[in-house]
Structure 1
């Protein structure tokens, strides 16, 4: 068990001012978050985020700038580690070949790990729609930057 869990996420905003979000189900818990995930041993933040977008979205991204890093204590919802999350603005450099959903938790198939993607207008973002405290903080910052 590691005391720190470093996570990296991408904020991908399209030409219609919509942001890509991920609805997921894992360990019997449903949650909405931004695309990204845990850093692997020996991996840098940028490389980790690029890997996560390839794994989750089958797309390559370019990091445009840093948006936010966790600045308060967050305990993992899944274990006893402390979460440190880093968020970057990104743009895709290869097309997103995903099935985009409009309803929350509209998963295809069944299984222990499920994921679906949605575009949400920046003006429609709400903190209450996100589960994790750091994502809620990022939503607040995004709303305040409009």
Structure 2
């Protein structure tokens, strides 16, 4: 670690939605780049982590969730990729969607017509075939491996 210590924490909260041996992933175009990650986003000041997850999933999917259980919290140092003076802390929960589903999924990655900031599509990916390289960010890569270990048949 450099002499310049991070002065802020960037806290992110993500949902792991597992169904029929697959997990939901989000393909997004943000900050001028394509990224594949788990659904979720940033904790707002004054918000609890579960409330954050519920808000993020409602914003992204127009969907309510239930059966929320802690799965993993970052247990190693991760410099935030976009802010030099931030340490990233990511919290992952397993959860289920309430029926009926209010959003569509695709079989194709990045299923949107243009690379415009804010574009997003969802798809189910088989847990057995998850690879680190499927994900854009280091902690998601780690969590993908943890999911594979947990759901090994």
Who is 2:33 aligned against?
29
Compute the RMSD of aligned alpha carbons.
Answer: 1.6
Q: Given the alignment, which residue of 4, 13, 17 partners 2:9?
A: 4
Q: TM-score, normalised to structure 2's length?
A: 0.88
Who is 1:76 aligned against?
80
**Higher mean C-alpha deviation, range 60-69 or range 114-123:** 60-69
Unaligned 5+ residue runs, structure 2? 1-6
Who is 2:47 aligned against?
43
1:118 maps to 2:123:
yes
CA contact (8 A) 1:100 1:119 kept: yes
**Higher mean C-alpha deviation, range 79-88 or range 90-99:** 90-99
In the comparison of the two structures, how many residue pairs are matched?
145
Who is 1:55 aligned against?
59
Pick the structure with greater CA Rg: 2
Q: TM-score, normalised to structure 1's length?
A: 0.92
Unaligned 5+ residue runs, structure 1? none
